[in-house]
């Protein structure tokens, strides 16, 4: 009985040791990890064939479980090139540029498939791409135009929300500029290549890159992204109107709309330009180098007279606000409470801002209404500042009289003490 | 020279006492004059640093309406929502600094200068505003509506 028990013990020990051996061997051989023969070889290759594990692990597709074979076909479990890159395994190799949109659309245009990853993601990118200048030229056989990977990068595609993504709002202009600012690359197309340089001087660039407002316009805001096209001469104001609502509403009803349409001029762009839009100033209504009106209008004509009236009204209100601000500042520095008037000053500034919007009606009488309302508030604030200064002066005179009285009393006291000492 | 010789004993002590007394009188005058000088030339105060303000009284506002109140030297907006809760926000638009207002028809905060729209909680929803409006804390003290800066969490 005892020898039989010993045999069982030996058998159990051998079984345990064997199992442990299998586990250790499995761990050494990487059992449980997916074999990726593609990355194992390509990570050691130079560009353009090199793709490292580190790079690919940044890709949103890798993070969602897709592998090299999802796009390139083949068999990643085999280290035999004739198998892993064989026709039998459906190996596609390098994807031809013309095939890229179709390949990406294989998943991205399938709502049922995409829903499992991001139910809110659009699936019309390919349809939109076909309407774009890029898509149309690609269909016509021009493989130099942008396809998906040119903007989204390849093998390290990050979601647009990632600040490192080439299509994150802060990086879009730079991404577009890689081709559009390359004069040699763009030569056959005969379009300007200074858009990026101009955009970098614009108020929109300032809002996006300096103020950090990610909703500020970049290339795709006006041109579209997958369906990128120039907005078209007669549609520019519709694009600008997405943000500049009041200006667009006023422009639509104005005399300029009809005139610009008749002349085939591109709405807002005529005065504000397109890529290099600067912060508007009252000088745009002047006759100096920043002035825009006199490019079309004649000196002394009816419109020029209206221009002079509008500009002088704005300058008058701006000056009145500055003057009232200065008076209030002096009163404040003298220790007077003028916070009520300071608050009212913001209403005067509101009127100035409104008047600058009302310019887009091109009616001097409407602008004047806003200007007069602002002037009334500024005059009241100026008066409040002056009243505060009058009160300050009265207080100072009172203080002076008190000090003189005290000084006379002290002098009297001193004389009296001297008299006693004698 | 002879004066020094004739100096009565104890005159040095008397002089020392006179110096002390004179110094004390001068210091007293200086303490009188300092506030006078400070009154004539006050130190610069950029902001009064108001942290709490009574924005109105309960019952002043109708439900689904708003009113501007003064928070230091800048405007604030007090809203009484249709469900009866108070909300206070900075009334200075984050775009170009116009004074915003509550629109009962939209149930949103609206800037009349460039059509900027914010939610009741101050979130910028549409139009040019790049940032939300600063939200304030609202408390009721008796029938007074007290608005304070939000405390840091």
Is the pLDDT score of B21 beyond 60?
yes
Say what the alpha-carbon torsion angle B56, B62, B67, B69 is, to the nearest 10 degrees: 0
Indicate whether this complex's ipTM tops 0.90: no
> Residue B46 falls within a domain, yes or no?
no
> Residue B153 falls within a domain, yes or no?
no
Is the pLDDT score of A31 beyond 70?
no
Do both B142 and B72 map to the same domain? yes
Among B48, B73, B96, the residue with its CB nearest the CB of A343 is B73
Do both B106 and B136 map to the same domain? yes
Is there a contact between A353 and B98 if contact means CB atoms under 8 Å apart? yes
Supply the CATH number for residue B99's domain. 2.102.10.10
Is the pLDDT score of B74 beyond 90?
no
Is the pLDDT score of A14 beyond 60?
no
Neighboring chain B residues of A343 at a CB cutoff of 8 Å = 70, 73-75
Residue A354 sits at the chain B interface (C-beta within 8 Å): yes
Count of the separate structural domains present in chain B: 2
Nearest-CA distance from B5 to chain A in Å? 26
> Residue B30 falls within a domain, yes or no?
yes
> Residue B47 falls within a domain, yes or no?
no
Is the pLDDT score of A21 beyond 50?
no
Higher pLDDT, A227 or B50: A227
Predicted structure pTM score = 0.78
B105-110 contact pairs (CB < 8 A, 24+): B107/B64, B107/B81, B107/B82, B109/B66, B109/B77, B109/B79, B109/B133
> Residue B23 falls within a domain, yes or no?
yes
Residue in A with minimal Cα distance to B43: A333
Q: Where do the domains of chain A lie, and which CATH numbers do they carry?
A: 36-94 (no CATH), 96-230 (no CATH), 306-421 (1.20.140)
Residue B44 sits at the chain A interface (C-beta within 8 Å): yes
Nearest-CA distance from A138 to chain B in Å? 36
Domain range enclosing B68: 52-148
Is there a contact between B70 and A340 if contact means CB atoms under 8 Å apart? yes
Do both B67 and B131 map to the same domain? yes
Query: Mind listing the pLDDT tens digit for each residue in A203-251?
Result: 999 999 998 888 899 999 999 999 988 877 677 888 898 888 899 999 9
Neighboring chain B residues of A354 at a CB cutoff of 8 Å = 98, 112-113
Nearest-CA distance from A315 to chain B in Å? 18
Is there a contact between B74 and A346 if contact means CB atoms under 8 Å apart? yes
Is the pLDDT score of A408 beyond 90?
yes
Residue in B with minimal Cα distance to A349: B98
Interface subset of A 383-412, CB within 8 angstroms of B: 396, 399, 403
> Rounded distance, CA B135 to CA B86, Å?
11
Do both B32 and B57 map to the same domain? no
């Amino acid at each position: 009985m005892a020898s039989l028990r010993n045999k069982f013990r030996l058998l159990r020990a051998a079984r345990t040791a064997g199992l442990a051996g299998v586990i250790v061997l499995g761990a050494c051989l990487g059992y449980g990890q997916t074999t990726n023969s593609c990355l194992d070889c390509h990570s050691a290759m130079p560009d353009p064939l090199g793709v490292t594990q580190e790079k690919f692990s940044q890709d949103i597709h890798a993070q969602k479980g897709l592998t090299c074979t999802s796009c390139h076909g083949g068999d990643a479990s085999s280290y035999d090139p004739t198998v892993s890159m064989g026709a039998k395994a459906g190996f596609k190799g390098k994807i031809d540029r013309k095939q890229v949109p179709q390949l990406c659309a294989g998943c991205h245009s399938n709502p049922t498939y995409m829903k499992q990853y991001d139910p809110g993601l659009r699936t019309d990118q390919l349809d939109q791409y076909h309407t774009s200048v890029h898509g149309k030229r690609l269909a016509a056989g021009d493989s130099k135009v942008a396809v998906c990977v040119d903007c989204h990068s390849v093998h390290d595609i990050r979601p647009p929300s990632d600040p490192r993504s080439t299509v994150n709002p802060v990086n879009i202009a730079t991404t577009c500029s890689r081709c559009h600012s390359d004069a040699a690359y763009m030569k056959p197309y005969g379009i300007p290549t200074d858009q990026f340089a101009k955009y970098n001087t614009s108020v929109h660039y300032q809002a996006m890159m300096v103020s950090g407002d990610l909703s500020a316009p970049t290339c795709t805001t006006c041109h579209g992204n997958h369906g990128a096209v120039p907005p078209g001469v007669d549609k520019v104001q519709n694009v600008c109107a997405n943000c500049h609502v009041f200006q667009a509403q006023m422009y639509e009803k104005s005399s300029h709309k009809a005139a610009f349409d008749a002349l085939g001029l591109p709405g807002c762009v005529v005065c504000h330009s397109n890529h290099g839009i600067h912060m508007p100033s009252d000088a745009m209504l002047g006759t100096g180098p920043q002035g825009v009106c006199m490019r079309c209008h004649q000196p002394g004509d009816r419109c020029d007279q209206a221009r002079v009236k509008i500009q002088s009204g704005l300058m008058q209100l701006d000056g009145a606000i500055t003057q009232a601000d200065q008076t209030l500042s002096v009163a404040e520095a003298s220790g007077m409470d003028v916070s009520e008037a300071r608050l009212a000053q913001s209403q005067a500034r509101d009127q100035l801002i409104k008047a600058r919007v009302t310019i887009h009606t091109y009616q001097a009488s409407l602008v004047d209404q806003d200007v007069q309302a602002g002037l009334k508030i500024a005059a009241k604030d100026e008066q409040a500042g002056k009243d505060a200064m009058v009160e300050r002066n009265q207080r100072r005179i009172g203080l002076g009289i008190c000090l003189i009285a005290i000084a006379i009393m002290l002098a009297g006291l001193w004389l009296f003490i001297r008299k006693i000492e004698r | 020279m002879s004066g020094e010789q004739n100096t009565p004993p104890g005159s040095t002590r008397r002089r020392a006492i006179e110096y002390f007394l004179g110094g004390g009188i001068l210091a007293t005058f200086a303490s009188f004059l300092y506030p006078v000088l400070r009154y004539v030339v006050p130190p610069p105060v950029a902001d009064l640093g108001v942290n709490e303000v009574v924005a109105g009284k309960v019952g002043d506002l109708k439900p689904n309406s708003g009113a501007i109140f003064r928070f230091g030297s800048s405007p604030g907006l007090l809203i009484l929502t249709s469900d009866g809760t108070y909300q206070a926000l900075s009334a200075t638009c984050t775009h170009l600094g116009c004074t915003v207002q509550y629109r009962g028809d939209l149930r949103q905060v609206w800037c009349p200068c460039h059509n900027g729209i914010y939610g009741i909680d101050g979130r910028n929803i549409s139009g040019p505003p790049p940032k939300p409006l600063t939200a304030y804390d609202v408390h009721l003290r008796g029938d007074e509506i007290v608005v304070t800066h939000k405390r840091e969490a």
